[in-house]
Amino acid sequence: MQVLAYWLMRTAMFLAIYAALWALKWFDIWAVLIAFLVGWAVSYVAFPGMRRSAAVQMDGWINHSRKGSEADDAVEDAEANGL
- 46-78 pLDDT, tens digit each: 999 998 999 899 888 887 666 666 566 666 666
| Average pLDDT score over residue span 36-50 | 93
The pTM of the full predicted model, rounded to 2 decimals, is 0.68
25 sits in the region (left: phi over 0; alpha: psi -120 to 50; else beta) called left
Task: Give the integer Cα–Cα distance in Å for 75 and 56.
Answer: 29
26 sits in the region (left: phi over 0; alpha: psi -120 to 50; else beta) called beta
